[in-house]
Amino acid sequence: MATDTISACTGSSLLQPISEIINLPLDQVNFVVCQICALLMACCFRLYLHPSKTSPLARHVVATLLGVYFALFCFGWYALHFLVQSGIAYGIMILAGVEHMHRYCLVFALAYLSFCQITRVYVFDYGMYSADFTGPMMVITQKITSMAFEIHDGECLFAGAVFRRMPSLLEYFSYNCNFMGILAGPTCSYNDYIAFIEGKPYRHRDQGSNGKPQGKTSLNDPSPNKEVIRKLATCFISLLVFLSVCKVFPVERNIDDGFIATTPFYAQVVYLYLSMLTTRPKYYFVWTLADAINNAAGFGFNGYDGEGLPRWDLISNLRITNIELATSFKMFLDNWNIQTAHWLKRVCYERCPYNPTAATFLLSAMWHGAYPGYYLTFLTGIVVTLAARAVRHNVRPCFLGSPTHKLVYDVITWASTQIAICYTVVPFVLLSVGPSLKFYRSWYFSGHIGCVLLAIALPVKPRHLRLKEQQLGLQPSSTHSQKHKAT
């Protein structure tokens, strides 16, 4: 990489002529070109650096060096933040010890990420262009904390056994900064990544604590070619839809005074859905391409389905069909940014004794960045989630009596879910407080008011009480079975 082609703010300027010809920002051109190169390198990585042909050491070195190169090409010297954040967190893991490392790493990684996000938004973005180097840092933050929690929980693999072990410095930086996931992720388990590097994908998840296989396993090395081609086709269609349709339905029109004054409310609802619908293909493109890159390298194999076909969804970040046909808020969230949802569940939701839903949404807002719109979206998401949960627990059972009633329920909840999602994420797109509140005022805060009323009118018992009741309900049957065995 020539030093004269690297800018401290925007990365390489080598592709500036292409950026001007196709009229796209240079950082976007750099990103797409690097991802295409990563796809080609992934194919070579699988073919020429296969575990059967080379050592894990060589695979770690190549994956790390390529990742650092792509980071420098896209973000210039801002990419050093990736190494600094990772390096300090590694030191914290060593100094803090197993008992406390997960807490300290979570606090540090989030604090460092937040500092970079705040300075990028409120210092360098005004009067000076800079690429969003904090995007990869968001994924690295997840990886740092995920690894710390895995080590703390005693889930790290070594020589087929499960126990607490610190990774080597090379393994650590390879996991955080490999070329397959440095630019767009997705987050993955440290165990899964090491198993991939060592040539044991899927095998370690079929082992018990004694290192022996549990049940039927398939240890062969299936080809990912068909899956990669399918995902690349999805990327192409998503990009085509985004470039051709997104400008037809700009989100900003939802807060245009003339549009609000002259458009009937039902038409505003339809336009809101269409405008938010056309923003999704951008994420479909980025996340599916990232998934295809990992698959092309041989990473992402998740065993076989019921028909004996290989599954390549171990680190997939979304399920498009389930998103577009979601009939509940939970179903939408479970299929959108899947790896982030897993991370939030592990580091927050499952460990927070009280109000885990609110705590998880607030952590998600902090992780996403410093724009006020993010916090408005996730605060709104709390009340929408509570209302959706109340409806599902109290109303859904009334419609399960017949297929017709169930179909009616599904149609109503699909429409409600899609509008609720759009209503919730408008501030996420608009970013600022003023435009976001203007949108909500134009809807008279009806979504907030309706959700609060539903949550009050249809109460649901707290999670810890439901779990306690389930445990109490299991005790009699378990006691009875023990007595039966004794007799």
As given in the structure block, the two tokens for residue 164 are 């607490």
User: Cβ contacts of residue 468 below 8 Å, gap of 6+?
Assistant: none
As given in the structure block, the two tokens for residue 217 are 């396993």
CB count in 10 Å sphere of residue 258: 8
Contact 425, 377 (CB under 8 A): yes
Question: Which of the residues 368, 393, 464, 480 is marked catalytic?
Answer: 368
d(CA 196, CA 395): 45
Active site residue 302: no
The H or E element spanning position 215 is none
Active site residue 368: yes
Question: Which of the residues 176, 337, 342, 448 is marked catalytic?
Answer: 337
Bridge partner list, 158 = 161
Q: Where are the alpha helices (DSSP H) in 49-126?
A: 56-75, 80-96, 101-119
User: Cβ contacts of residue 487 below 8 Å, gap of 6+?
Assistant: none
Contact 432, 412 (CB under 8 A): no
The H or E element spanning position 161 is strand 161-162
Q: Is 249 helix (H, G, I), strand (E, B) or coil?
A: coil
User: Cβ contacts of residue 133 below 8 Å, gap of 6+?
Assistant: 75, 78, 79, 81, 116, 120
- Sequence length of the chain is 487
Active-site residue list = 337, 368
